């Protein structure tokens, strides 16, 4: 294995290990995100709300002729 001047073998191993840990961290986040979105149930479709009913006092007012 080629070892550049100034780097020890353990430094190369440590750098490779850190790169591997970084990749695993990113892969874990991506796979967890995909799993959450893949298993999420769709939101139920709500029926439109009905208009509020008028109070009984307003509904039964007689129509006065002018």
| Average pLDDT across the chain, whole number | 82
pLDDT at residue 42 in the model: 82
Please tell me the least confidently modeled range out of 3-7, 18-22, 36-40.
3-7
pLDDT at residue 47 in the model: 78
Its pTM stands at: 0.51
pLDDT at residue 64 in the model: 64
Biggest CA-to-CA distance, the chain: 106
Q: Which residues contact 22 (CB under 8 A, 6 or more apart)?
A: none
- Contact yes or no for 12/3 (Cβ under 8 A): yes
Question: How do the domains of the chain map onto residue ranges?
Answer: 1-41
């Amino acid at each position: 294995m080629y070892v550049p001047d100034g780097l020890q073998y353990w430094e190369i191993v440590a750098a490779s290990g850190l790169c591997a840990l970084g990749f695993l961290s990113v892969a874990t986040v991506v796979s967890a995100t995909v799993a959450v979105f893949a298993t999420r149930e769709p939101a139920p479709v709500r029926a439109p709300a009905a208009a509020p009913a008028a109070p009984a006092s307003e509904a039964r007012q007689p129509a006065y002729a002018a």
